[in-house]
Amino acid sequence: MRFRLVRYFTLTSLLFFVLVTAVLGYIYREISIKNLTLLQEANNEDITRTFANSSWAEFVPLFDMLEDNSLEEIKKYKTDPELEAKIEDLYALTSSLMVGTHVVKVKVFDMKGRTVFSTEKGQIGDDKSTNPGFVSAVQGVTRSAIDHKNAFSAFEKEISELDVLFSYIPFINADTGQVEGVFEVYADITPFLAKIEQTVFTIVSAVVGMLLFLYLALFIIVRRADRIISDNSQQRERDHQRIVQSEKMASLGQMVAGVAHQLNTPLGSARSNIEMAAEAIEEFKLPLQLGQAAISHIQNKKKSFVLSKETIASARSYQEPSFCAEDLAEMLTDTISNVDQMKDLVVNLRDFTRIDRAKVTSYNINDGLDNVIYIAKSALSSRIKVEKQYGEIPPVSCMPSQLNQVFLNLINNGAQAMGEVGTLTLKTSIDGANVKIEVHDTGSGINAEDLPHIFEPYYTTKPSGEGTGLGLSIANDIVTGHEGKIYVDSELGKGSSFTVLLPVAGPTSEDATPST
């Protein structure tokens, strides 16, 4: 399957650009909000300290008045005119001091966590003793957070859709260094957050524009590269097909040479016999003529028959033929045997190529191996012994001509590895749902460092000019296309053993096997 570079680049780059833009926007927003929080928190602290320094003396009497009151009594402060008047005075003081600032609410807690004052009077008497912000402030540490309020009471007026930063700020007595109370200050940061969002949008838009420009530039480059890669791939494929064809033609040439050699011997013998038979027939011509004349005389019941002068002269000079009838019959019988041998070779050649059965069909592997050995006979030295250890195996659904190509390659490789002397063993057996074919030779073996690469295209251990390195690669493709496996075990000096596993069911269609 061809790798779609442009499509892959488009999808991955757009996804990457979206993620980068989102991350950059998020990081900028978080950093901006963090800086805003720190800045507004410091501003709240400054305002609170200024407010506390100028008005804390006014809050001390309130603390004293509420010292022994319960939360319920504090909430009912309006029942005490003096207490209510004090709270109203503090409310007016706080409102006047906060005019012109971003502060929209102020609350004051005593050290017990009771709300003794709030510009939202309904919250007076609330218990904040367990609030993390209050606990942090009691320990002398300011704590702040941002919150969005759909509705908010600011100095007795309602405000909607408000972003506020609230800070719990300790009031520390300058003389004793002790925390004497806690302020909770709410600051309106809605315009600041809006400005941050606007800035984030501007930055993200700029980043998107730059990334889009970068994407377009890279897209043009990648598209051009994809075309170059596609052209190179097509050229490599054409080169590969030419080399594969060359490999097949080389194998075909080797096979044709072997077939020619095997045909030449019986053909030469038959021709010689026919020539000698023709000579013998010429020598038998005169005796045949005399015999024919005698037979004719007898059949016509004549008392005597007359021979021509030429026949009598030929008979006087006639010598005994060098061939007898038995010799002639033997030569013709030998000629018939040679013709049968050539016929067998043609039949085996036809079965090997399986031109008449190029599609997926049921195939007897044992018969196929016999056929391949017969065809490869010329490539095997007369001193190479072939041992067959065939088991009882079921037929395999396959493309016979392609499997024959695999077995011929393995047998030829084994013969080349052994040279002039050795033993080639062919073994078949059942291995689960597979037919197992083993081709073992007693040749020189394969180096350990070469074993992982022998099925790679163009990899060869033969000397330069003696192989294309595609034989085993094609064999591997064919076996894999048949949904099988091929592997090798080898040891230097002891030979190699190639094992092919083929499922009995075989490929499900013709397309399952690669074209080689």
The residue from 124, 157, 188 where one domain ends is 188
Domain that holds residue 87: 5-188
Torsion angle (degrees, nearest 10) of CA 76, 79, 84, 87: -10
How, if at all, do strands 485-491 and 422-431 pair?
Answer: unpaired
How, if at all, do strands 179-188 and 143-154 pair?
Answer: unpaired
Asked whether residue 96 is domain-assigned, the answer is: yes
Asked whether residue 193 is domain-assigned, the answer is: no
Asked whether residue 50 is domain-assigned, the answer is: yes
| Residue-wise pLDDT tens digits, 174-220 | 888 899 899 998 888 888 878 877 887 887 788 778 878 887 888 88
- Model pTM score: 0.44
Across 308-312, average pLDDT: 67
Across 30-58, average pLDDT: 78
The residue from 148, 166, 188 where one domain ends is 188
Sorting pLDDT into bands at 50, 70 and 90, what band is 25?
A: confident
| Residue-wise pLDDT tens digits, 319-333 | 666 566 676 677 777
Across 467-471, average pLDDT: 67
| Residue-wise pLDDT tens digits, 255-289 | 566 666 666 666 777 777 777 777 767 666 667 66
User: Which residues contact residue 9 at a Cβ distance below 8 angstroms, ignoring those fewer than 6 apart?
Assistant: 218, 219, 222
- Which range has the worst mean pLDDT, 1-15, 79-93, 171-185? 1-15
Asked whether residue 301 is domain-assigned, the answer is: no
Does residue 429 have a pLDDT over 90?
A: yes
Asked whether residue 29 is domain-assigned, the answer is: yes
Three-state SS at 155: coil
What is the per-residue pLDDT for 387? 92
Specify the CATH number for the domain of residue 372. 3.30.565.10
The residue from 188, 215, 231 where one domain ends is 188
What is the per-residue pLDDT for 516? 41
Three-state SS at 31: helix
Asked whether residue 260 is domain-assigned, the answer is: no
What's the domain count of the chain?
Answer: 2
What is the per-residue pLDDT for 260? 64
Specify the CATH number for the domain of residue 41. 3.30.450.20
What is the per-residue pLDDT for 3? 60
Asked whether residue 38 is domain-assigned, the answer is: yes
> What one-letter code names the amino acid at 221?
I
What is the per-residue pLDDT for 515? 41
Asked whether residue 237 is domain-assigned, the answer is: no
